[in-house]
Amino acid sequence: MNEVRRKAELNCTPNPGNNHVKIKFNLPYSGEAMLCIYNIRGEKIQQLNPMFYPEGQREIERKRVKAAGSRIPNGIYFVLLQYGNQIVTDKLMHFSN
């Protein structure tokens, strides 16, 4: 009997958001995961160091998401979760006041 491989899940809230975002992800197995944020042009603007996470749901709160030391401009971004051989993405719209 073939085992169905469970997939990681990723969700960003609030979306659209401004200067504050919660990145929630659920890992079906323990393992190393890394989060990156890309702009609409595919340029990596932020990367969180790879870490080992136990299985289950995690939440990372980012205040004032930055790119190279400065606040990111308004626009559409993609949050990417790399976990084992899986890549999961979520779109994030960022608007500053």
Predicted pLDDT at 73? 82
Higher-pLDDT residue of 97, 55: 55
CA distances from 89 to 1, 2, 70, 96, 97 (A): 30, 27, 23, 22, 26
Domain boundaries along the sequence of the chain = 9-94
pLDDT in tens, 72-93: 788 899 999 999 889 999 998 8
pLDDT classification of 1: cutoffs 50, 70, 90: very low
Q: Considering only CA atoms, give the Rg of the chain.
A: 14
pLDDT in tens, 3-33: 456 889 999 988 887 777 889 999 999 999 9
Predicted pLDDT at 72? 74
DSSP 12-36: EESSSBSSEEEEEEEESS-EEEEEE
pLDDT in tens, 42-64: 999 888 889 999 999 999 887 76
- Note the CATH architecture for domain 9-94: Sandwich (2.60)
